[in-house]
Structure 1
Amino acid sequence: MRQTSRIASVMSMLGGFVAVAMTMGLLTAGLVIPAVGVAGQATNNGIKMFNQMPADFQMNPLAQQSRILASDGTVIGTPFNENRIVVPLNKIAPVMQQAQVAIEDERFFEHGGVDPKGLLRAISTNILSAGTQGASTLTQQYVKVALQNKALASGNKDAAAASVARSGMQGYVRKLQELKYAVSLEQKYTKQQILDGYLNLVYFGDQQYGVEAAARHYYGRSASQLTLPQAATLAGVVNAPGVTDPINNPEAATKRRNQVLGKMYAQQMISYKEYTDATSHDLKSDLKVTNISSSCASSKYPYFCYYVYNWLLNEPSLGKTRKEREAALKGGGLTIQTSFDPKLAAKMDKDIKSKVPVANSENVQAAALTIQPGTGLVLATGQNTAYSNNTTAGKSAINYTVPLNMGGGQGFTIGSTAKFFAIVSAVQQGRDIEGDINVPKFSGKDKNGNFVRFTNKQFPGECGLAPGENWDVHNSEGHESGGPMPVIEATAGSINTAFAQLVSELGACDVHATMTKMGVRNGDGTEIGKSPSGIILGSEPVTALDLANAYATVAADGVYCTPRPVKSIADANGKQLKLAQAGCKQLLSKDVARTVTKVFENVLKPGGTAYASRLAGDRPAAGKTGTVEGATQSWFAGYTPELATAVWVGHADNEKTLKDVRLGGKYYDGYLYGSTIAAPIWKTIMDDALRGKPERKFAAPSSEFLDGNKVRVPNVKGQTPDNATSMLESAGFKVKQGPAQDARLFEGLIMGSTPEGGEKVAKGATITIYPSTGRRPSSTQPTIAPAVSPN
């Protein structure tokens, strides 16, 4: 009874198969089978089902590995879900093509997607046994695997299971659908195209998809270079990859290989000698196993690889959502060309580790990043740690140079490198860089030394101090304060009190806006804080990426470029994608940028904090040291016309003072300033990067900018605020009112201005006027006096 039921079931569902075998001409014409009494009503029902099934089947692009390339073409990383490299058929050895056809479908080049002989044999076998075995052509197998692959890629587990069902009603339906798709496929594509698709699609064991990835993995060569024994081995793996791959199952692989070779000999694809030589060949002697990981952790450059990977996950050209972008990255066969220079990175790595060794006893870390002015392309990053999720000494998974969302961290406080932005604002406001800052006298002395106290009077408003709040500003050892000091001298010597005074005159919010528009932000992506200490003395955590790129903007004559590690992205077909995260704009005028450079060149000249780190041959360069109060972090950021580099040295996990330390065989007595170690590392990195390259000089600002646009500031002392404003605006200046100062004038009258009356400054500059409180000045009270800047 059970046997009778099985016969009826099989005949009902596979009757269409018989009909197909008998009416191939009609199938070729239109994929429709007429129910004309082939085998009774049961078979007619099967034919009806067959005709109602969808027929259209497309050979969709295969998921394949993407490649992240360095500037010299070497591979940095290979993101993938399935390790597959799609190649055209002419890049697959003919012997590999023959081997696959021989073992899978010897009549492949004769049938139209369905093999009538095999089909009839399978039906007779299935009537007498369980399952739906046999009869599958190579084309049908391609359909089955492609359907499963598509279902898995879309997350449809039910469809994936249905695509490989082997028994029961579901198995019969699956076979019937495969048959119709196979015939459809044969109508649309050539045999060569189908074989190409099959060899690129199927699984070859040991996590290798497609013949190219398999050939590289097992034999360390491309599919075009496969020998007869190698090709036969791979062809034999496909049927049962879990038990016949040559690495994990060499005996089974050898047996299966010889079966393939026997088929090839029987089908006259190879000679008897070729057959005997290949079957006696030692399978293991060919193995040259090469493993490729999809994880950046196994890359030679893991930190940069993860930076690129995270940058790509934020690139809109790869998809609307992060999930879509990751799918494109892991399955789109993208070629990602980065700007990473392995030679520069190797030198950077050596330079950093020679001065701040890995896992040093002081637990001091160091990192650097180099960027190209005018493009925003990151050329190299380096740090004195090995990549690891294990946070033991000398190991870290955090890239110290990039923001949190790029695989980095929170950033580090940048110290006096922030003074760069005060000078940019000063030049934009028309401040005479050859003039003076009238530095307040010391207000007192505490445990940290002499200080100048600033209050809400000097720093009012959103970016200032709260009423009653004091900010005590100290200078480094040996620096006096009080009285006129040239802007260039204050910059070269990094005088904190001078810059606090300068920013109180410029407006702290103006300087904060300059930092923001030049791309400086906290490492977690939030806006830089608006406290005077953060704006002037760099007490906010920033990354080397943002700092180096801001300096690069000035190096590029004021052209700001979005920082990026990727030069281009091509899809699997070689089509270039437009990068949304790329672009440059003229942020500062050329004259402003060139004037700022003129100021910061002095840092590397006699009297400057980094004079000892001037570049080889006195190559033109500009930059700024940075040391956080208490020497908890130290920096140097600097540039030439070609390169900008930021170097950080400090403790990654705490704010411990850097004092009296031994690093790289050298003892550093006292505090570790930016000039002590960060600047020397910067020098070696830049010297290595620029060695042998022609020297380029910075362009000078125009004489019209420096001199031709200057006008004399009217003397407004004793005027009412309205009259003073009118006089200054008529002369072409902008005006803002500063806090009231004690002076021997009636309350409300203007006691002075910054710059002061009689000084020649750039037209359009902002002049700050100070009304009188009407109180006589105290001999001990510091005041914000107007700067004296002789012409």
Structure 2
Amino acid sequence: MEADGGIGRAGAVRRLAGYSMMAGLLAGLLLVPLAWTAGVGARDSADWLLSEPADLDELKAPQRSQILAADGSLIATFFRQNRVEVPLDEISPAVKQAVLAIEDSRFYEHGALDTRGTVRALMSNLNNSGEGAQGGSGITQQYVKNLLYMNAESEAEKQQAVEITKGRKLRELRYAIAVERRYPKDEILEKYLNIAFFGDHAYGVEAAARRYFSVSASKLNLNQAATLAGILKNGNFYNARLNGEGARNRRDVVLDRMAELGWISREEAAKEKAKPLVLKLTETKNGCTESKAPFFCDYVQREILNNPIFGKTKGERERLLWAGGLKIRTTMDWKTQNAARKALLRHVPARNKEKKAAAQVLVEPGTGEIKGMDVGRELGPDEEPGKTWINFAADASHGTSVGMAAGSTFKAFTLAAAFDEGMPIGERITAPVAYAPTGFRDCKGKNVSDTTELRNSSDGEGGRSFSLLTGTWHSVNTFFLKLEKEVGLCDTVKMAKKLGIRRADGKPLQEFASFTLGFNDVSPLRVAAAYAAFGARGKYCEPIAIKRIDRSDGKKIKVPSANCEQVIDKGVADAVNHVMSGVLTKGTARGLGLGRPAAGKTGTVDNYSAAWFAGYTPELASAVWVGDPRGGYSNPMTNVCLPTHCGGPVYGASIPGPIWQDTMAEALRGVKATGFRRPPSEFFRKGSGEDRVRMPDLRGLKPEAAADKLRAMGMDYRIASSEKHSEYPEGTVASTDPAPGASIDPGDFDTTVVLTVSKGPEPHEEEPPPHEDGPFLPELPFQATPFQVPFLSR
């Protein structure tokens, strides 16, 4: 039996076999045949050890990814390990010295295996009781150990990477030999400093410098450098935030070692040791919940996690996002995003007593780029007031929302289908007060008629004749049901599909007679993208949020394309734009204009279960939804009291319209306005579609006042090139063409009212001027007395 405190030869050998760091290695290399340890044939054991591992190039330290706005500013950061790689020349020299001093002072002198350090560690371990065993691994081996652990996918692989076995140490040595052969010493040190764990979720010296001291690694002073070098021994135990005393004591050990090596003076070490440990913490936010654009961020995240273009399996896509070191440049414009956020919260606050919610998406016509996306709440658990995990702005694949009925915003697709079939703007249809939609067939030819009478909503009207223009302006349900029947239900559905309309739950669009009234559940994103196609004169683009993705090595990753395509004729789109422009001036959304060419459509869903507004300019399109996440039919939008609307039902123009107006006005501030194109003349072959009116009597008005009246009627005018005398005062209107009382079409492009300006009344014939010397007397050929003058006139 061995004496207490003594170490016999047999006991030493047994203890040697159990040490994790170097004893196992030496036992494997010196005492046990390599073939047995590595599990390979004896003849091939040396070749195996010296051969380069096949997966060396695939092993990379996890990098944090960043989602960036269109201007390159940060939206959010994603990481499994908070790491920012930096080159060696951007790391403070004090850090390099401190780390080398405490971890591997002979790093530049030895190869993959530091024999002297290994023997020193072995002898130290043999002469203690088994506690506080020293390791002999140099920086290269530590780098390899970290690399293998961080690339482990399963728990079993992670356990294998840290298990106490000779086989693990030999595997690490094999990789270390390969690394030493491939890279110069400076590059190995750089890799180690960028992969090492410094505690408190900080991986790599740059992340650690920012976390503990709020500076870059290049700005670390000696005291800070020694603190970080000390943490490397055990990132969890010496966490400077959680264990300040332990971190300071370890810092002092590093400073003493640097002085012992002569890299700093004893006096300098003592001076630094006397200083307190001063931290200035900075927390790196991780994921979308901390972002200022959380729902747009979440949309981008889900695009990467769900789209096979970014990886065959979900696991691959998750690794790419959370560890791939990506720079994800998106389409989001902060000006537009902030305008949307501000408008949503102004009209529907996140924590409103009515528990209503609102969502908005803004898409650029002609590119499909999503410029803004928001839900007027915070991203978080639904049970917490003012929060939700559901992105009501997007489809289920990008936010778990199953969509919402879009109401009368769908009437635009029936209108477009009618124009696509050549129907003129002035075509009139009598819209009854109630209408049973019979005679309808879906795209498979199935009869989908309904004998239930449908009526007009409160924001529409019926019982008279409407044109395509006025029927749209007044959003008449029965008019559009009859128009859909004339156009064909299937053609209307096909038009919607051409413009990118999809159900939010991913299922096929349901085809029933009331399709035009918008019963299908869709997302604001799909409606905004469809309306953007009108703004782009019939060019539809799939909505995209990602413009470019760069890897940490500078290589680009393929991203989804907008696949822009001309899906309807430009003239058809121009006709739609012309009609829907009037919705903002003479229709259900009058008063919601932008002071620039714009068009749109209200959408009030049946039973007031939700309200929508979708509108656009040639530069930007937007769709707004307001409703109740708990269910619109059980919690209708009636008698609600919100900051800008209190009492009565909510229509498309009540809350969604003003949200749209506020957002668009701010987003387009400073953006040059362009107009819509005049529709082809063929669409006016039955007139403008406006209800005819009597020409007002403008005579006697100043031309400016007369022009104002005509503009208010939607009439064009011009001033005649010549003036004329009239009974009306000079400078006022003398006459009009058409004449007062004439029946006119105020929207007829071919009718221009001509205003002729008065020169005032015609002047009377002037009397001859009186003679200067008295009464006029004719010259006579003879001398006569006054009594001899002949009688001239009476």
1:297 equivalent in alignment to 2:289: yes
- Cross-structure match for 1:184: 178
2:208 corresponds to which of 214, 218, 226: 214
CA distance in 2, matches of 1:627, 1:487: 19
Q: Residues 355-377 of structure 1, C-alpha deviation per residue, up to 9 Å, x if partnerless?
A: 22333233332221111111111
Q: Decide whether the 8 Å contact of 1:12 with 1:42 is kept in 2.
A: no
Letter in 2 for 1:658: M
1:580 corresponds to which of 560, 581, 584: 560
- Cross-structure match for 2:303: 311
| 1:492-511 map, 5 Å | 492-511=473-492
SS in 1 for 2:367: coil
- Cross-structure match for 2:229: 235
1:570 equivalent in alignment to 2:550: yes
- Cross-structure match for 1:525: 506
- Cross-structure match for 1:93: 92
Deviation at 1:9, TM superposition (A): 6.9
Deviation at 1:706, TM superposition (A): 4.5
CA distance in 2, matches of 1:44, 1:346: 66
- Cross-structure match for 1:201: 195
- Cross-structure match for 1:140: 141
Letter in 2 for 1:194: I
Letter in 1 for 2:162: V
CA distance in 1, matches of 2:459, 2:310: 56
CA distance in 2, matches of 1:602, 1:398: 35
CA distance in 2, matches of 1:42, 1:660: 86
Q: Decide whether the 8 Å contact of 1:50 with 1:176 is kept in 2.
A: no
Give the alignment's TM-score, normalised by structure 1: 0.78
CA distance in 2, matches of 1:428, 1:396: 41
1:610 corresponds to which of 562, 568, 589: 589
SS in 2 for 1:564: coil
Change (3 A) 1:363 1:136: closer
Q: Which has the larger radius of gyration?
A: 2
- Cross-structure match for 1:720: none
SS in 2 for 1:313: helix
| 1:143-182 map, 5 Å | 143-150=144-151, 152=152, 154-155=153-154, 157=156, 159-166=157-164, 170=165, 172-182=166-176
- Cross-structure match for 1:658: 637
1:453 equivalent in alignment to 2:447: no
1:539 equivalent in alignment to 2:535: no
SS in 1 for 2:409: helix
Deviates more, 1:100-109 or 1:297-306: 297-306
- Cross-structure match for 1:590: 570
Unaligned runs of 5+ in 1: 22-32, 34-38, 443-450, 711-788
1:672 equivalent in alignment to 2:656: no
Identity among equivalent pairs (%): 37
SS in 2 for 1:241: coil
| 1:39-438 map, 5 Å | 52-53=48-49, 55-57=51-53, 58=56, 60-126=59-125, 133-150=134-151, 152=152, 154-155=153-154, 157=156, 159-166=157-164, 170=165, 172-283=166-277, 285=278, 287-436=279-428, 438=429
Letter in 1 for 2:264: I
Q: Decide whether the 8 Å contact of 1:516 with 1:527 is kept in 2.
A: no
Change (3 A) 1:541 1:275: same
Deviation at 1:496, TM superposition (A): 0.9
Give the alignment's TM-score, normalised by structure 2: 0.78
- Cross-structure match for 2:756: none
Q: Decide whether the 8 Å contact of 2:602 with 2:653 is kept in 1.
A: yes
Deviates more, 1:125-134 or 1:501-510: 125-134
CA distance in 1, matches of 2:383, 2:35: 70
Deviation at 1:463, TM superposition (A): 7.2
Q: Decide whether the 8 Å contact of 2:416 with 2:576 is kept in 1.
A: yes
CA distance in 1, matches of 2:37, 2:320: 41
Q: Residues 260-316 of structure 1, C-alpha deviation per residue, up to 9 Å, x if partnerless?
A: 112222223234454233222221x2x222222433223232222211110111233
SS in 2 for 1:400: coil
Change (3 A) 1:121 1:544: same
SS in 1 for 2:606: coil
Q: Decide whether the 8 Å contact of 2:546 with 2:560 is kept in 1.
A: no
Unaligned runs of 5+ in 2: 3-7, 688-747, 751-794
SS in 1 for 2:486: helix
Change (3 A) 1:639 1:79: same
SS in 1 for 2:79: coil
Q: Residues 157-184 of structure 1, C-alpha deviation per residue, up to 9 Å, x if partnerless?
A: 2x43343334xxx2x3433443343233
CA distance in 1, matches of 2:169, 2:441: 80
SS in 1 for 2:639: strand
CA distance in 2, matches of 1:417, 1:426: 16
Q: Decide whether the 8 Å contact of 1:100 with 1:235 is kept in 2.
A: yes
SS in 2 for 1:373: coil
Q: How many residues align?
A: 667
Letter in 2 for 1:528: L
SS in 1 for 2:328: strand
- Cross-structure match for 2:599: 622
1:698 equivalent in alignment to 2:679: no
- Cross-structure match for 1:471: 452
Letter in 2 for 1:639: Y
- Cross-structure match for 2:663: 685
Letter in 1 for 2:420: Q
Change (3 A) 1:532 1:175: same
- Cross-structure match for 2:720: none
Change (3 A) 1:480 1:573: closer
Change (3 A) 1:115 1:550: same
